[in-house]
Structure 1
Amino acid sequence: MTNWKASLTPTQYQVLRLGNTERPYTGQYVNFKESGNYSCSGCQIPLYKSSTKFDSSYGWPAFNEAIPGAVKRGRQFTWNATK
């Protein structure tokens, strides 16, 4: 069993395990332009190719499409701002 608090930064833990978001324009990949894949910080599975990244003008990286089979889309019905 993974000890998520020990293996992730506080921000990664808030986002990956509690469903929060980082503040806009604060993430390390907002202006990142290098080629390659973007992977999950928790499990290291590649999620997006850099060729599908675009500037959403909202302060977070955005992608036109995920690597096939890597991302399950759904709706988030809870807000964990107090956790």
Structure 2
Amino acid sequence: MKALFALLLTTLFAGTAVAGPTCNVPPERWMKEAELKARLEAQGYQIKTFKVSKGQCYEIYGFDKAGQKVEIYFDPQTGAVVASR
């Protein structure tokens, strides 16, 4: 019974731990994806995946100018970083 309870708690909190940030910006105020991609590429990022996260932020997977892997969430209106991993 203890093992089942521990498994249940682990499952519940695992989903919460991997959730990204939430951006509360109406879609009509978002900058164009192409604009943010161009800005990031000019800063030296190599974008492998660019998408809208479940929390309605722009999210990229790729590499920074030093070649390090990045996962970054951006405010879709301003392009400001809201979280990274």
TM-score when normalising by structure 2: 0.30
Q: Greater CA radius of gyration, 1 or 2?
A: 2
Higher helix share: 2
Higher strand share: 2
